[in-house]
Structure 1
Amino acid sequence: MNSLSNSEGSSSHATLTSHGACVCGSPLLQKFHERMMADISRRQFLGGAAALIAMFSALHAPTVLSNKPKRSDGPVLLTNLTLFDGSGGPLRKNVSVRVENGRIEALLNDSSGTEGAEVIDCGGRILMPGIIDAHWHTTLAAISQIEAMTADPGYVHLVAAREAERTLLRGVTSVRDVGGPSFALKRAIDKGIIPGPRIFPAGAMISQTSGHGDFRMRHEIPRTPTSPLSPAEQQGVAAIADGEAEVLRRTREQLMLGASQIKLMAGGGVASMFDPLDSTQFTEREIRAAVEAADDWGTYVMAHVYTPRGIQRALRAGVRSIEHGQLADEETVRMIAGEGAWWSLQPFLQDEDSNVYPDAERRAAQTKVAEGTIRAYEYAQRFDAKTAWGTDILFNPQSTGNQLRHLAKLTRFYDPLTALSMATGINGELLALSGPRNPYPGKLGVIEPGAHADLLVVDGNPDRNLDFLVDIDQDLRMVMKGGRFYKDEL
């Protein structure tokens, strides 16, 4: 798990609110989880979820309750547009898109399809699919250092709900949540209680003892048969498992809760206290236990891992998506491509969004990952690996608004339409890997008959650049999810 950061401020602040390297094992993150659940049992937390949602609705009534998404009594015809359909192909003109019952009904020429439809003139702008972030932490993205250290747990979940609305209004209509207690938030969004993107939840990150999801402090070691679960485990952020039997149990628990895919921590990170970047985590047998359990439910396992050894072990065990993997060598990338696995990359480039570390060891690890990022995108193209785009924003409310800037950065490696297709049609294919555990059956990320009507209208020239993603407030004119308008400034 990595985080996005503002480079300003103290080094301790940057350690938590930063981007470009993993912060899952940072001391501040551990303290946050201790605070979150020190005096709250898991049963109390689950029982209070409905109250939190109700409180959010009451506090946020001016935008959520009074400005509910527009509904049309019948079909909608979007016309006078330039179409980017999510495939990466050239832009198309002289086409209209008819939407009905939350789906795209048809693509028509501009002179047809008006019968019985509300006609919306897009003013010659770009119509494109909603954006998909394949590596997002719905509950943990927008809580700051000060809030994490001082706020009560209810506030944290209210912040997550508020950020879900902002995420949708940025044009991100679907996210693959790669770790955290997002099940209740997903349910509230799906029921229309609050606005937000479609969430493909992984539930708790499954980690070995001493692994990248083990947030315990030294005084909590050793664990005995009678030791209570750690705060992070009670919260549903992580689940510690050692041995095939425990991995199998924790995997099945997340599936029971509604996980659409499973997340394993198969290697170390940059900001970790206890697990170095080059560490390899879980044995092949342990990983295979999770893979087999997920496969029995028709879905797959994704693995946080950076190094060639860790990636190859995960692939041999049947992992279908490598998260990060910036240190992969040529042999490993050939294996990713040969196995038909997904490579979920993030542009960690040690730039203005990167974290600032006070110690030389972590700075060196961060530099290593940044250099690996450049090689990774080159390898991905050379060996034709299935490559997804994500951001991995964590604990940084200042940076969540820049979510799509990290998509614009891909033009360093790809032409603009190819980069944009990665965050739409290609990421939609990755979401579909959940098979029968897909909470939203149907195509996402594309504009074609039968696909979900998750659509954006933007001012821009995506065949030339992705500059419109930098100032999304100004250039994003319409957001539709499931055929409903959440933003309409046409």
Structure 2
Amino acid sequence: MSNAVGVAARCKSTVLSLVRSASLKILQGKKRLAAALLLGFCATASADDILFENVRIFDGKGTALSAPSNVLVKGNVIARISTDPVEAEGAERIAGNGRTLMPGLIDAHWHAMLIATTPAEAMEDIGFANLAAGDEATDTLMRGFTTVRDVGGPAFGLKRAIDRGIIAGPRIYPSGAMITVTSGHGDFRQPSDLPRRIGGPFTPMEVNGGSIVVDSPDEVRLRAREQFMQGAVLLKLTAGGGVSSPHSPLDVTTFTAPELRAAVEIADNWGTYVAAHAFTPEAIEMAIAAGVKCIEHGFLMNEDDAKLIAENGIWLSLQPLHDLMRTSLPEGSVERAKAEEVWPGIDRTYKLAKKYKIKTAWGTDILFSRALARQQGAILASLVRWYTPAEALAMATGTNAELLALSGKRNPYPGKLGVVEEGALADLLLVDGNPLENIDLVADPANNFKIIMKDGVVYKNTLAE
């Protein structure tokens, strides 16, 4: 990001901080003070170099904090880390006072365009959906999530707006539309929309890019290439049934083996990979046989599946799903019945992942609920049901970054993410406290994340307050 764009982004972040806190009163009754704060911030935001002094580092991989250290950020990269004083003439100096410096958080299963809207809005009003998603993207960044892996939704325009500094938000690794089949998970058509005619008109969800229906290997290839043409960095297929789709039973393996192989072939051609939504043993095993490199969910797997995943080095993208996602579904509905079947598998699957040392990513999978999205950090903290705080935080930083790297040359953000080390991209959080001792600190980012930096740009700094 250029210095000019960086300054603009920092100024925007100041305005957002004012608007989204008690400083609403400042804007209403003390406009002079607000203007002074903004001008003062922008005047100091022009420094390209930032030096964090006297911080304890969680590096995104280890189990303990470092000794008191100094970290120099030059441009968008961590240039130097030292326990000795660092010479940095002209750099903006930030007194850490023993606080924790850690990597920005990464959510590996996110739907940026499907959180701040209702299903109807997402399908029918793409203009509103983009504006709402942009506002939610800024909230996501302000929760400390500097990167998301978007596994289904029309997030390409949102990503461009963030990357160009038009709005503040996380880095986005987009898959584009969820690729599904007739009556598969992600097919939200009604029976009145049938029969489907090959080459016929698309539904609003397909037109807007939320999901796309395919029913042959050739259609898979066509729609996969369309996602890559728009900027996808991976493909997301729904290899089995899902909870939220009313016409998609959990036990059904929705894609045929040739259809799955067609998707893997195209992803291979583009130097990247396929992630497959799959709950059941049948869906998981078929996806792995086809060459899929990442299983999303897997909550109905058995022990043999866990062994298969581990032996083949497949990634397992898990989510400690918030119980409100189950209880908010209407009692007696098909969706609620499927949720009741899936939820007991969450604990079992995490235990299998640990037992067989599966490469495990972490995400949230929140849909159509801004209120629940605000619990993003709390959902991460809930991993202590199975992991230590250090293990949980490493999963949401360094480990998730390894999964992002599977995109290979399609990676939209070349550089090292998820770690605090020399040469890594400067996505950093300054935390008031030690999250390795109290992981609940990440559940209250408004109070505990004093500085939020993405790509070397400070989007939040409350130390002066």
The interval holding the TM-score normalised by the smaller chain is: 0.7 to 0.9
2:74 counterpart of 1:74: no
Q: CA deviation at 1:330?
A: 0.6
Does residue 200 (structure 1) correspond to residue 173 (structure 2)? The answer is: yes
Answer yes or no: is 1:331 the counterpart of 2:315: no
- 1:279, 1:433 → 2: CA distance? 28
Q: 1:423 aligns with which of 392, 396, 401?
A: 396
Partners of 1:128 and 1:119 lie apart in 2 by: 17
Give me the whole-angstrom Cα distance separating, in 2, the residues matched to 1:366 and 1:161: 30
* Farther off after superposition, 70-79 or 434-443: 70-79
CA distance in 1, matches of 2:51, 2:276: 42
Structure 2 counterpart of 1:176, from 137, 149, 156 = 149
Pair 1:380 & 2:353 matched: yes
Contact 1:300–1:433 (CA under 8 A) maintained in structure 2: yes
What displacement does 1:401 show? 1.0
Distance 2:324 2:138 in 1: 27
Query: In structure 2, what is the Cα distance between the partners aligned to 1:200 and 1:218?
Result: 33
Counterpart position of 2:101 = 127
**Post-superposition CA distance 1:86-113 (Å, at most 9, x none):** 0033111221111002001111114233
Show the counterpart of 1:63.
16
**Counterpart of 1:478 in 2: which secondary structure?**
strand
- Once the two structures are overlaid, the 10-residue window that deviates more, 91-100 or 111-120, is 111-120
Amino acid at match of 1:290: A
What amino acid is the match of 2:271? G
Amino acid aligned to 1:194: I
Q: Which of 274, 281, 301 lines up with 2:254 in the alignment? A: 281
Residues 99 and 394 of structure 1: CA distance in aligned 2, closer, same or farther (over 3 Å): same
**Residue in structure 2 matched with residue 47 of structure 1 by the alignment:** none
The one of 114, 117, 126 equivalent to 1:140 is 114
Distance (whole Å) between structure 1 residues aligned to residue 226 and residue 289 of structure 2: 24
CA distance in 2, matches of 1:262, 1:360: 30
Q: Give the conservation status (yes or no) of the 8 Å contact 2:60–2:394.
A: yes
Deviates more, 1:408-417 or 1:67-76: 67-76
CA contact under 8 A between 1:266 and 1:282: conserved in structure 2?
yes
* Match status 1:315 vs 2:268: no
**Who is 1:111 aligned against?**
85
Deviation readout 1:372-395 (Å, 9 max, x if unpaired)? 110111100110100000001111
Secondary structure, aligned partner of 1:479: strand
User: What corresponds to 2:3 in structure 1?
Assistant: none
Q: Cα–Cα, structure 1 residues 135 and 366, in superposed 2: closer, same or farther, change >3 Å?
A: same
Map Cα deviations across residues 329-376 of structure 1 (whole Å, 9 max, x no partner): 110011111111110000026368743432165444323322111011
- SS in structure 2 opposite 1:290? helix
CA distance in structure 1 between the partners assigned to 2:81 and 2:310 by the alignment: 34
Query: Do residues 187 (structure 1) and 160 (structure 2) align?
Result: yes
Q: What is residue 91 of structure 1 aligned with on the other side? A: 65
- Counterpart contact for 1:128–1:456, Cα < 8 Å: yes
Unaligned runs of 5+ in 1: 1-58
Contact 1:180/1:237 (<8 A) preserved: yes
State the distance in 1 between where 2:111 and 2:355 align.
30
Q: Residue 399 of structure 1 aligns to which amino acid in structure 2? A: L
The 5-angstrom pairing of residues 41-56 of structure 1 reads none
Q: Which residue of 2 aligns with 1:410?
A: 383
| Contact 1:97/1:108 (8 A) holds in 2 | yes
CA-to-aligned-CA distance 1:301-333 (integer Å, 9 cap, x gap):
001110111001001101111111111111001
User: What letter corresponds to residue 101 of structure 1 in structure 2?
Assistant: G
Amino acid at match of 2:411: N
Contact 2:58 2:66 in 1 (8 A): yes
With over 3 angstroms needed to count, the CA separation of the structure-2 counterparts of 1:220 and 1:152, relative to structure 1, is: closer
In 2, Cα distance between equivalents of 1:245 and 1:314:
18
Equivalents in 2 of 1:271, 1:185: separation in Å? 24
Q: Report the aligned-residue RMSD.
A: 2.3
Report how many residues are paired. Answer: 431
Structure having greater relative contact order (Cα 8 Å, sep ≥ 6): 1
Query: CA-to-partner distance for each residue in 1:192-225, whole Å, 9 max, x for gaps?
Result: 1111000001001111111112121111110124
Matches within 5 A, 1:187-336: 187-225=160-198, 227-336=200-309
- Change beyond 3 A, Cα 1:315–1:185: same
Partners of 1:238 and 1:74 lie apart in 2 by 41
CA shift in 2, pair 1:462/1:294, >3 Å? same
Q: Which moved more, 1:206-215 or 1:387-396?
A: 206-215
Cα distance in 1 for residues equivalent to 2:427 and 2:401: 12
Q: Distance in 2 between matches of 1:154 and 1:112?
A: 48
Q: 2:132 aligns with which of 159, 178, 202?
A: 159
Q: Secondary structure at the match of 2:323?
A: coil
Change in CA separation of 1:279 and 1:408 when aligned onto 2, cut-off 3 Å: same
Question: Amino acid of the residue matched to residue 252 of structure 1?
Answer: R
Task: Give the match's secondary structure for 1:247.
Answer: helix
| In 1, Cα distance between equivalents of 2:14 and 2:66 | 40
Shift of 1:227: 2.6
Question: CA contact under 8 A between 2:430 and 2:451: conserved in structure 1?
Answer: yes
Question: Paired residue for 2:437?
Answer: 464
**Residues 388 and 261 (structure 1), Cα distance of their counterparts in 2 relative to 1, 3 Å cut:** same
SS of the residue corresponding to residue 268 of structure 1 reads coil
Q: CA deviation at 1:246?
A: 0.8
C-alpha spacing 1:374/1:447, structure 2 compared with 1 (3 Å): same
Is the contact between residue 411 and residue 465 of structure 1 (CA under 8 Å) also seen in structure 2?
Answer: no
Q: 1:166 to 1:187 in 2, by over 3 A?
A: same
Deviation of the 1:153 alpha carbon: 3.6
For residues 223 and 271 of structure 1, the distance between their equivalents in structure 2, rounded to whole angstroms, comes to 21
Equivalent position to 2:369, from 385, 396, 399: 396
Change (3 A) 1:353 1:242: closer
- Contact map agreement 1:186 1:198 (CA 8 A) in 2: yes
Aligned partners of 1:81 and 1:94 also within 8 Å: yes
Structure 1 SS opposite 2:248: coil
For residue 152 of structure 1, report the CA deviation from its aligned partner: 4.5
Cα displacement (A) at 1:226: 5.5
Instruction: Report the Cα offset of residue 128 of structure 1.
Output: 0.4
| 1:449, distance to aligned residue in structure 2 (A) | 1.1
C-alpha separation in 2, matches of 1:428 and 1:246: 31
Contact 1:88 1:420 in 2 (8 A): no
Counterpart CA distance in 1 for 2:156 and 2:309 is 30
Show structure 2 runs of 5+ residues with no match.
1-11, 20-34
